[in-house]
Structure formats: C-alpha cells, structure tokens
Structure 1
Amino acid sequence: MMNDKQTPTHADDAHETAEIICGDGYRLHGHFLPRAAGTSAGLPVLISPATGVRQHFYLRFARWLAAQGHDVLVFDYRGIGLSLHGSLRDCNATLADWGQQDQVAAIDWLLNRTGAEQIVIIGHSAGGQMIGLLPNHHRVARLVGVAASTGWFKAMKPAFRLKAHFGMRLVLPLGIRLKGYGTTAIIGLGENLPAGVARQWGQWCAAGGYARNAVKHQAHRDFHSQVRTPVTVLHAEDDDIATAGTVADLLSTLPSAPRQVRCLRPHEHGLRRIGHLDWFRQSHQVLWPLMAQAVRGEHITPDGRTQG
C-alpha cells in the first residue's frame, strides 16, 4: 500500500514556514512557496497530503509548481510530522478533523496570505476526498484529486481487498489496543497514525462513501450535495486503491460537481509503474505537467494530452 520512504527534501531559500491555527486552536505547520519571480500568476495551490504521508514528500513537486507561477502551501495534518505535538499515543485527532478543521484552516491561511478569492486543491488520496466536509468549499476553484477515491473495500480487486481488510480491520485495531495508536508503518501504510484517525479510516473504507460517514445525521455539517467545484481525478491503471470503482464511489458523493476522470497507463508515459504514491516522486516528473494542466482547468484527453 503506502510507503513514502522517498529521501526527505527541504524547501529552498524561497519559502516560508507556515503556522496555521485551526478553529479549535490546534496548530498545524507547513511550508509556503511563493511563485517564481517573472512568472504569470496562476491560482494559489494547496497540496493536501495522503493519509500518513508527511509534507516533505511533496516539496520537490511544490517547488516545481511554484516555478510554473503558483503560490503553494503544503502542510501536515494534526498528529502527523511537524503537526504532531507531544506523544502520538496522546493525540486525539480524528480523520474528520483533518477535513473539518485542518483543510478548512489551510484554505483560509492560503487565501489570507495571497489575497486570492479562490484556491486550487491538489489532494493526494485522502487529501482529495474531504471537500464535502468543508464549509468554505466555495473558495475552492478546482479540486485535482490525485489517486483520490474512497478506498471502498468492495470496489477493490479481490486479492487486494482481502489484504486491505486484514490490515485495516484487524491489524490496526490490535495495534491501537497494544500501542495506543495506529501502527500503520509496519503494514506499509505510511506514518503511524493517531488512534482516532486509524479507527475512522478503517470504518470509512469498509462502509463506502468515505467522508459522508463523518456527517451522518448532521445535515448542517454535510456539504457534499452543495459542492459545485469542478473535480478532476487522476488515477493509475496499476493503483490497487484508487480503482475505477473506488473513484466512482467518491464522485457519487459529489452529485452536483462537474467532473472528469483520467486513468493513466504507466507505459504510455514511459514509466514501469505509477501506483498510488509515485506521482510526486522526482522519478515521475513526466506526470507533473499533467497535474499542472488540471490545476489550470484544462480538459485532459484520455491519453494525457490537453484540449483548449
């Protein structure tokens, strides 16, 4: 599944550290990279990470995107990387908090810092799944979901479904009981997670509909049907998590949002594999212009070219 063991890289001199204060007072930490001097200004971009992936994994891509003319903010969710304060065992974060608190605050921070009316979200996996939880969803001009889906077990291929179900419904609860946190690292699911995050992650993937599970019977906090932000989902043919079925499950939660879905075949881009995580690796820079095209709102043809 997830393994973000890419060698960490640090932002270059043209960056700011960002302290993002959430509505409940929690402090998140990120990096802000201003667009390169002399470039035409595009909309600011918020990079929202995948579950259990630290912000440093995205910094090379963030620097590249800033060179294309975008102000870029990347951050760690509460309980992850620079946004973990104290012991992981004592962190009471939930997956719902990552949307309802963390993404909301990150959007507001980027809007305030840039003075823009709207921003674009590049959401990797979980980062592209939670727009229906955001009361400020209307400030998002476009959502680019990279390997974004619900991860619904029933829409996965049978062999991987069994592996995912075993890991998230059996191994993680046992780890929570023994360690007090989600021991995701030992089963290849990225950084260890706060218990509440790991518990909800397993529940949502089992139920389907992902973030809608956070707002059942809470109509005042459920914005899924109101979202009209155009959504582009890019996923790979060899991704065991973001499959055609799990992507469709995600889009079914956003009935009013215009959408386009593009499934990439690695060999058509000169790559042996893409999978769930490799989009942002330096070795896969051939995919970065495709993501930038989606950020600009260009129509992407099935073979990865643009129209208009």
Structure 2
Amino acid sequence: MSHAHSTESVTFTCADGTPLHGHFVRAQGDATPGLPVLLCPATGVKQHYYLRFVNWLAHQGHDVLVFDYRGIGLSLHGRLKDCKATLAEWGQQDQVAALEWLLARTGQSQALMLGHSAGGQMIGLLPNHHKVARLVGVSASTGWLRGMRPAFRLQAGFALRGVIPLGVRFKGFAPTAAIGLGENLPAGVGLQWGQWCSAGGYATNAVRHQPDRDFHAQVRTPITVLHAEDDDIATPATVADLLRTFPVAPKQAIRVKPAQHGLKSIGHIDWFRNTHQALWPLIAQALRG
C-alpha cells in the first residue's frame, strides 16, 4: 500500500482556537492491535521527517497521529516573525489537543505517547496526562546545559543564550536553521527553550508559580527514555534531570550503543531516519512495555 493512500492529512483545533495540521495513519497488516500512538516531534523538526517511521509503526498494529506544533511546518500560519507561540503552549495546548483528537478519532480512552526530544519532555504540562497509558521519550532530557560535556555545553550555550536572543531582537524570530538546530522557531519558543535549558528542570520552569497548571507531581504514567550513548544533548545527567521532575511516575532510562545495532552513530536526531530502521523495533517494544 502506498504512503499516499494510507496517510490521511488532518486538521484539529486547540482550546485557544489555534488550528494544527497533522497526519493520521490507521493500523495496517495483521500485527496484534495496540493502543493508538501520538508522535510528538522534537523542537524545530517537521512532521514529514517522521512519516516513514509512522507508516512502519502502523504495520506494527498502531493507529498513529503525528503533527506540527504551532509555528512549525504546516502549522505555521502567516509570517514566522508574527507568530506569538511559546514552548509552554506546545505542551499546554498543542499536545493536549492532539491527544484528545486521537482518542476521539480512535474511540479509545488512552493512547501511547512517543515523544522525540522536546516532544517527550512536557507531559507535566498536560491536564489530560492520565489519558497517556505510557510515555516513551526518545532522546528526551531537560537539555540542561550543566549536564553536558564542557565543549558541547559552550556550543549549546552560545546558541541558546547568544544567537537566539540576538536573532529575535534583529529578525523577530529564532534563526535556529542557520546554526543547525532544525527549522527556525517562533521568538517565544526560542527564548523559552534557552531559559529552560539554562535553569534545568525543563518544563517545570513554565509553571513554577502556577500550581494549578503544574502536573509533574501527579503524573503516574510509566515513562521510558531511550537515549544514545553518542547523544550530546540527552546525556545520563540531563535524562536524570528530566526523570526527577516526575516523582511518582514509574520510570527507566535505557542507554543505547550504536554499534550493538550495526550503526556508526545515532546522536540526538537520527533515530527516525530510514538509515536507522535497526532502532525502530526498540521503540515499538518500549511502547508495548
């Protein structure tokens, strides 16, 4: 079956009225059916990057929804410099609405969340977190600068605390594409990203003085983080920094060696590339628990 026929282009609306665009794929083949999967992308990574993996996962028995956050890819409406999106809204609005849409569409009461990097870091911002049966974070961590190797910390710090704020001042958006950090980002997203990575504790920074919007201590969803040995961002220290923000959730971190899967490297982003299909069964297995 070709991708074109099995992949449906969809639009759904967040509580604040923002429309988001995604792709929905029904489970295919004769694999044992599993719960639907919500695939939440990494910062500045468009949903199209994940479509091959999404189709593969559909053949493992899952209905899958992948989408672009506000201000990215198909969910950017108008000019980037006019986009008022924040990183917190990606969790509080976008992931919340995507989860509700997927459950309504599939008639299920719970879904699995597969979050790549930032996509797996914000469940503590979701009032509907109890509708996530399991969270698998791929390369998920807080990106805490002090948890990285010194050389990479300097590079990341320069990007997040130097290039992004300057770009926002002069261009009106975060010029992340120029420094190899994915798509350009809305100003509010880029600035918040820098603040959260500097402070540690990631999304807890968004709700520090808003107890009614902070669900970190209530999340009981089992959390598994898969991170590569050669990932400069999701290091053992930054992964631990993320997991500590969920005090009552059952949690585990699995560090993956590229060579054990016949790969030269994995890093932070490459998990979902066609060249890295050797890793896909690991992800599917983690989702099934």
TM-score, normalised to structure 1, is 0.92
Distance in 1 between residues matched to 2:143 and 2:81, nearest whole Å: 25
Cα distance change on mapping 1:265 and 1:37 into 2, 3 Å = closer
Indicate the residue corresponding to 1:277 in structure 2.
269
Match of 2:13, as an amino acid? I
For residues 18 and 252 of structure 1, the distance between their equivalents in structure 2, rounded to whole angstroms, comes to 35
Matches within 5 A, 1:256-295: 256-295=248-287
Give me the whole-angstrom Cα distance separating, in 2, the residues matched to 1:38 and 1:251.
35
Residues 1:70 and 1:278: Cα distance change in structure 2 (over 3 Å): same
Q: Runs ≥4 in structure 1, deviation > 4 angstroms?
A: none
The structural deviation recorded for 1:174 is 0.6
Out of 34, 57, 60, the position equivalent to 2:52 is 60
CA-atom RMSD, angstroms?
0.9
| Aligned residue identity for 1:128 | G
How far, CA to CA, are the matches of 1:135 and 1:128 in structure 2? 15
Q: Distance in 2 between matches of 1:11 and 1:156?
A: 39
Report the counterpart of residue 5 of structure 2 in structure 1: 13
Residue 156 (structure 1) aligns with:
148
The CA distance in 1 between the partners of 2:209 and 2:137, in whole Å, is: 27
> How do 1:85-164 and structure 2 match up within 5 A?
85-164=77-156
Cα deviation, 1:246-285, whole Å, max 9, x if unaligned, reads 0000001001110111101111111000000010000000
Count residues with an aligned counterpart.
288
CA–CA distance in 2 between the matches of 1:132 and 1:278? 26
CA displacement at 1:18 relative to structure 2:
1.3
Hey, what's the Cα distance between the residues in 2 that align with 1:12 and 1:146? 27
Displacement after TM superposition at 1:39 (Å): 3.3
Q: Do structure 1's residue 79 and structure 2's residue 71 form an aligned pair?
A: yes
Name the residue aligned to 1:173.
Answer: 165
Distance 2:12 2:195 in 1: 28
Distance 2:10 2:213 in 1: 27
SS in 2 for 1:163: helix
State which drifts further: 12-21 or 110-119. Answer: 12-21
When normalised by structure 2's length, the TM-score is 0.99
Give the drift of 1:12.
Answer: 2.7
SS of the equivalent of 1:59 reads: helix
- Paired AA for residue 237 in structure 2: G
Once the 2 structures are TM-superposed, how far is the Cα of residue 11 of structure 1 from its aligned partner? 4.0
CA–CA separation in structure 2 for the residues paired with 1:217 and 1:34:
41
Q: Deviation string for 1:101-120 (max 9, x for gaps)?
A: 00000000000000011000
2:199 aligns with 207
**Correspondence for 2:237 among 226, 238, 245:** 245
Could you give the per-residue CA deviations for residues 222-255 of structure 1, whole angstroms, max 9, x where no partner exists? Answer: 0000000000000000000000000000001001
Q: Distance in 2 between matches of 1:38 and 1:53?
A: 31
Q: AA paired with 2:26? A: P
Report the alpha carbon displacement of residue 15 of structure 1 after superposing the two structures with TM: 1.9
- Structure 2: runs of 5+ lacking an equivalent: none
Matched, 1:194 2:186: yes
Q: Which amino acid aligns with 1:218?
A: Q
- Which sections of structure 1, spanning at least 5 residues, go unmatched? 1-9, 298-308
> Which residue in the other structure is 1:3 paired with?
none
Separation of aligned partners in 2, 1:203 and 1:215: 13
* Superposed CA offset, 1:58-109 (max 9, x none): 0000000000100000000000000000000000000000000000000000
Q: 1:178 to 1:11 in 2, by over 3 A?
A: farther
1:37 is displaced (CA, Å) by 4.5
The CA distance in 1 between the partners of 2:240 and 2:127, in whole Å, is 23
- Structure 2 partner of 1:25: 17
